[in-house]
Chain A
Amino acid sequence: QSVLTQPPSASGTPGQRVTISCSGSSSNIGSNTVNWYQQLPGTAPKLLIYSNNQRPSGVPDRFSGSKSGTSASLAISGLQSEDEADYYCAAWDDSLNGSWVFGGGTKLTVL
């Protein structure tokens, strides 16, 4: 059972816009910023969005992030076949001694 809640799956056709949600609580998303990671099959995760809505160098602007209250979202516009991957949200959780917590992951299928 992951601390952050994501839908297990999402899908879209090429060119479409899809969004993936991530729900948390006051101790994590509610008080800290959110990162998003993309994991292509058989590879290590890759940082996609940091600090709610910042893109690392090299990440296309088709990817965007937002946060409101205790929830966050990742949006992918102009969907491409190579976007088919697992997506994870993450946030620092202030409870106990503090820890990074992840969502359970969302498998994105490009139809």
Chain B
Amino acid sequence: QVQLVQSGAEVKKPGASVKVSCKASGYTFTGYYMHWVRQAPGQGLEWMGWINPNSGGTNYAQKFQGRVTMTRDTSISTAYMELSRLRSDDTAVYYCAREPALGVANYGMDVWGQGTTVTVSS
């Protein structure tokens, strides 16, 4: 079945970096954009950016420009999101979610990973 399985919880100190992985299965990895969305405790959803697994092209939210890097390894159908210079307000659950790469049409983020909790604390 189609699923996205993310790496486990992380605890980091302020100023460090974290790299979260998202392994896809059950579908053609390169046929879907991969988005990263985070949710701080008790808060709403915040889009961080996407990567096109086919080309490696990325589009980052302005808020995260210079701090986030999204990559992929097509040989193992896995996407990665690395966030650097962590602060306490980066404490959140980080989700990956796929979207069909079908031009400008909007088909939504139709499959989500289970989430990865990242805690930033000294």
List A residues at the B interface (Cβ < 8 Å).
Answer: 2, 32-33, 35, 37, 44-47, 49-51, 56, 88, 90, 92, 96-105
A50–B59 CB distance below 8 A: no
A47–B108 CB distance below 8 A: yes
Q: Which residues of A contact B115 (CB under 8 A)?
A: 44
A105–B45 CB distance below 8 A: yes
B45–A45 CB distance below 8 A: yes
Confirm or deny: B113 has a beta carbon within 8 angstroms of a beta carbon on chain A: yes
A44–B45 CB distance below 8 A: no
Further pairs besides A45-B112, A99-B62: 7, Cβ < 8 Å: A35-B106, A44-B112, A45-B37, A88-B45, A97-B62, A100-B47, A105-B45
Q: Which residues of B contact A90 (CB under 8 A)?
A: 45, 47
Number of interface residues of B (CB under 8 A): 21
B58 shortest CB reach to chain A, Å? 11
B75 shortest CB reach to chain A, Å? 26
